[in-house]
């Protein structure tokens, strides 16, 4: 990938955004007929809305990556073929769940198999912590971490533009790290293509949304982000933690709170911080704007840690990131 031609990067993002928007537009009548999400007591929307736009996002990512590889011939490792194949499988799994709610066990088995295949497909000898963990132990942690991150992204896909507000800063941050040669070219390529695909979907997901991602989108998007964050962690652990901080914090703290309160953790609910904010009186755009700005701050801090390559800077940036995330979560919990 030509690192010195940002105009081509912009063209890729714009092209993928246009293609994604076109595919969503073409798919929407079909989604209305077959994948309509009707509001219920746990929903944040009040009008029946089609879901499954993740089909368009995944198709755009596949086409965008294929064209970019053909035109620019980036370094071959890590190969995107296994990742994209798994993303397609998760899109199918998510589509089935959108159409007819699948048992939780089926979804977890599918996600675990996807994470396992991805871990096994990583480059030979690839390790994030070569001096701390044996390869088998690290791959097991990668599988567990990937499954949790995929679910975290899925849990936080509950408001208009909510996933967009998380994905856009993360992919911009990863693209910036690729420009600094901190992560491989194919990882930066995937980030650019996913950024464009999500921006195209965002046109139709603006509040009040005309279409939702559905599990057909949140599962493969979470998986692709997890894959890229593994390589960010290999380059600089603090950067990976910062980029994923809000998503993991909201999902993990909510899970712990529900466990402490002895709530059934496998049942649907509306107690994530971003959902509580709406219940407490904040408008949907106010919530997603806060998450988006926080994401940009965290992405900036992540890039700063890679530029500085200093333990002190890592400590300071992680501290600032935790403080910013804590303030946003606290503000969301309070609502208006």
pLDDT for res 303: 98
Question: C-alpha dihedral over 37, 279, 222, 128, to 10 degrees?
Answer: -170
Q: pLDDT 10s per residue in the chain (336 long)?
A: 454 578 888 999 999 999 999 999 999 999 999 998 887 656 676 788 999 999 999 999 999 999 998 888 777 789 999 999 999 999 999 999 999 989 999 999 999 999 999 999 998 889 999 989 999 999 999 999 999 999 999 999 999 999 999 999 999 999 999 999 999 999 999 999 999 999 999 999 999 999 999 999 999 999 999 999 999 999 999 999 999 999 999 999 999 999 998 888 877 788 999 999 999 999 999 999 999 999 999 999 999 999 999 999 999 999 999 999 999 999 999 988
25 by Cβ neighbours in 10 Å (0-12 / 13-18 / 19+) ranks as: middle
Model confidence pLDDT, tens digit, residues 10-55: 999 999 999 999 999 999 999 999 998 887 656 676 788 999 999 9
Task: Return d(Cα 333, Cα 31) in angstroms, integer.
Answer: 33
Return the pLDDT at 51. 96
- The pLDDT of residue 42: 63
Which pLDDT does position 142 carry in this prediction?
A: 97
Round to whole Å and give the CA distance between 110 and 122.
19
One DSSP character per residue, 122-160 reads SPTT--S-TTTS-HHHHHHHHHHHHHHHHHHHHHT--ST
3-state DSSP assignment of residue 211: coil
């Amino acid at each position: 990938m030509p690192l010195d031609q940002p105009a081509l990067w912009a063209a890729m993002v714009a092209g993928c955004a246009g293609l994604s928007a076109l595919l969503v537009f073409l798919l929407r009548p079909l989604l209305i007929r077959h994948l309509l999400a009707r509001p219920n007591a746990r929903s944040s929307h009040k009008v029946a809305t089609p879901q499954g736009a993740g089909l368009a996002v995944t198709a755009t990512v596949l086409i965008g990556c294929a064209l970019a590889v053909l035109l620019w011939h980036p370094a071959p490792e890590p190969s995107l073929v296994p990742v994209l194949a798994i993303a397609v499988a998760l899109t199918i799994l998510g589509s089935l769940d959108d159409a007819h709610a699948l048992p939780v066990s089926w979804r977890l088995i599918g996600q675990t198999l996807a994470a396992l295949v991805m871990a096994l497909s990583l480059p030979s000898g690839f390790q994030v912590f070569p001096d701390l963990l044996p390869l088998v132990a690290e791959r097991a942690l990668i599988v567990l971490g990937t499954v949790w991150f995929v679910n975290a992204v899925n849990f936080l896909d509950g408001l208009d533009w909510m996933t967009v507000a998380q994905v856009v800063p993360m992919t911009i941050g990863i693209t910036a790290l690729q420009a600094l040669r901190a992560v491989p070219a194919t990882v930066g390529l995937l980030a650019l293509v996913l950024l464009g695909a999500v921006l195209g979907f965002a046109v139709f997901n603006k509040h009040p949304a005309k279409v939702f991602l559905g599990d057909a989108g949140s599962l493969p998007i979470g998986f692709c982000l997890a894959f890229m964050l593994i390589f960010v962690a290999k380059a600089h652990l603090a950067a990976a933690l910062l980029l994923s901080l809000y998503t993991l914090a909201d999902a993990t703290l909510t899970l712990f709170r529900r466990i402490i309160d002895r709530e059934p953790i496998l049942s649907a609910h509306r107690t994530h911080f971003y959902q509580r904010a709406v219940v407490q009186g904040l408008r949907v755009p106010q919530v997603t704007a806060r998450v988006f700005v926080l994401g940009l701050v965290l992405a900036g801090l992540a890039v700063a840690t890679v530029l500085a390559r200093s333990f002190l800077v890592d400590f300071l940036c992680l501290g600032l990131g935790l403080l910013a995330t804590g303030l946003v979560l606290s503000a969301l919990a309070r609502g208006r």
